[in-house]
Structure 1
Amino acid sequence: MLDSTQLRTLAAVVAEGSFEAAAQALHITPSAVSQRIKALEQAVGQVLVRRSKPCLATDAGRPLLRLAGQVALLEREALGAARPATSGESAPTRVTVVANEDSLGTWFVGALARLPTGLALLFDVRRDDEEHTAELIRDGTAMAAVTAQREAVQGCRVERLGAMRYVALAQPGFAARHFPDGLTEPALAAAPMLAFDRKDRLQHRFVRTVTRRRLDPPVHYVPSFEGFNEAVRLGLGWGMVPERLARADVAAGRCVDVGAGRHLDRPLYWQHWRMESTTLDALTVAVRAVAAAELR
């Protein structure tokens, strides 16, 4: 049998990034943290933590990190159910979820706000590209994710939420300078493009749908939802903008649809740990409801 205290310590080391920070979070000494991790590694017969900056779970440690999170969640729910509602002794449940930037900027936070206040939840929301969000479930960091990956991570359930539609937008003056004849191949190869970061390939995917070729245009990286869309409005480059925002910017004359009606639909899925949990059930119901209203 695995020791739940040692599992909790493993989770703290990875979450806090170091043995010293985990010791502070757990109110014990760094030596005690080290002893617990060593004892757990001896019980498993594998190195579970990569002693780096920050500390990371090894491949062998990832399943145990996920188990630690599941055990902690079930313990908190069981204690909450066992104690009287008026006791005031139940600590809030920490829920770690991950979503892509555009979902966070448009609909996902609304799903979190729909959850009953009686659940006493504290959210730890992480951001990553939709192609990579499932990795945080796989390594045990997050219990649920909005992801582009439709294949279920081992130990998880997956369901399709819908598709987020994107439209190619540019500031009117930018469009007149760079796309006088529309989205031609030479224009797309030369016009400055916007992207969140180097994981963001949405604009490149749109270019391939138009030209049937892989082009390498100049790219500005703006790793912020608000900053990215403001950069489009100010004429720094062209970019793929969620349809709801695109409609408002086009109607106000701040931007034009340089795709002339073309769009790109990005399917999104909801993945979460496969376990019986009041918290995960409520979260899934809320995400499903808001996604049904906001996504295609």
Structure 2
Amino acid sequence: MNEFDPAALDCLAALADEQGFERAAQRLSITQSAVSQRLRSLEAQVGQPLVVRSRPLRLTEAGKVMLRFARQLQALRVDVARELGERVAPQSRLAIAVNADSLATWVPAALDALVQRGLREGYGLELIVDDQDFTHDSLRQGAVLGCMSTVAEALQGCRVQALGVMRYVAVASPGFLAAQLPEGLHAGNFADTPFLVFNRKDDTQAQWVSQAFGVRSPRLRERFVPSSEAYVRAAAMGWGVGVAPEIQVRPLVEAGQLVMLRPEIGVDVALYWHQWQLQGRGALLDQIGEALAEGARLALA
């Protein structure tokens, strides 16, 4: 693999990130024609197309394989520069995928020291947000170098570490309960009760209802709020019943702004950290995994 031009691989990564030739050229401080030339050269070396020139731009299956290699090469360059005491190239970024609820709660504190050090040394962390059941796809496709996922099995060439369990509980505001559920939430009225849902990938509410009332594949009145912070605010404002991380809603429950429904019922989501195995002493990707493991230990205990 040594014959692949690192500059051409950087172009492929920039195209994947920026979703277009113009913005990729701006990111790399070169012309669009230079981006096209480097891509064509890389495609000639691989012997097949790497990019589908559509809007938005898409990678072929071969392009995803090469993107994965490009990401790993970039991470190794960052590690080498740091080990030699050199400043990292300004466009150097290590992308990882995390779920929105972890990002809204414990992940920033866990990664803070690494981010602050990155400001001094020149590298950056890019956080890609997706549902924890789907972040694994980003790792497989080469979009990220590590991910937090509910998948326990490691991909070939990756390693996996258990982080802990996020417990999701059902909550609603006192005003919503008084107006909409004076007799409480039960098997006879859940189907007519608005439930807050993060997005169409989110089935946590259905899992909670299934556990609480023994109903398989319940149909719910869904109100979508695609932001972890706004989701909890919406529950506190009385938009509906929310099923949110216990660590996120605990302060509002203690303050009386939210009430926990059936506190003995919870949806436990086990989280795992996956990363590509890169060679090198003190690799930054390893440090990210260690920081997340320690942050999860403190937050999810």
Give me the TM-score of the superposition, normalised by structure 1: 0.92
Matched, 1:276 2:279: yes
The answer as to whether partners of 1:204 and 1:214 remain within 8 angstroms in 2 is yes
**Structure 1: which amino acid aligns with 2:146?**
A
What pairs up with 1:221-260 in 2 under 5 angstroms?
221-260=224-263
What pairs up with 1:1-296 in 2 under 5 angstroms?
1-82=3-84, 85=85, 89-91=87-89, 93-115=92-114, 117=117, 120-210=122-212, 211-277=214-280, 278-296=283-301
The answer as to whether partners of 1:119 and 1:279 remain within 8 angstroms in 2 is no
Deviation at 1:189, TM superposition (A): 0.9
The answer as to whether partners of 2:154 and 2:160 remain within 8 angstroms in 1 is yes
- Distance (whole Å) between structure 1 residues aligned to residue 8 and residue 250 of structure 2: 52
The answer as to whether partners of 2:211 and 2:265 remain within 8 angstroms in 1 is no
* 3-state SS of paired residue (1:20): helix
Deviation at 1:258, TM superposition (A): 1.5
- Distance (whole Å) between structure 1 residues aligned to residue 21 and residue 122 of structure 2: 29
- Distance (whole Å) between structure 1 residues aligned to residue 127 and residue 292 of structure 2: 14
Any gaps of 5 or more consecutive residues in structure 2?
Answer: none
Deviation at 1:58, TM superposition (A): 1.5
Deviation at 1:4, TM superposition (A): 1.8
Any gaps of 5 or more consecutive residues in structure 1?
Answer: none
Which stretches of structure 1, 4 residues or longer, exceed 4 Å deviation after superposition? none
Bigger shift: residues 124-133 or 252-261? 252-261
Q: Would you say how many aligned residue pairs link Structure 1 and Structure 2?
A: 292
Bigger shift: residues 63-72 or 149-158? 149-158
The answer as to whether partners of 2:93 and 2:125 remain within 8 angstroms in 1 is yes
**Structure 2: which amino acid aligns with 1:279?**
L
- Distance (whole Å) between structure 2 residues aligned to residue 12 and residue 90 of structure 1: 17
Bigger shift: residues 231-240 or 44-53? 44-53
The answer as to whether partners of 1:48 and 1:61 remain within 8 angstroms in 2 is yes
Alignment deviations for residues 140-191 of structure 1 (CA, whole Å, 9 cap, x no partner): 1111111111121332211110000111001123223444444422311110
- Distance (whole Å) between structure 2 residues aligned to residue 5 and residue 164 of structure 1: 41
Give me the TM-score of the superposition, normalised by structure 2: 0.90
- Distance (whole Å) between structure 1 residues aligned to residue 245 and residue 4 of structure 2: 46
Computed over aligned residues only, the root mean square deviation of the Cα atoms, in angstroms, reads 1.9
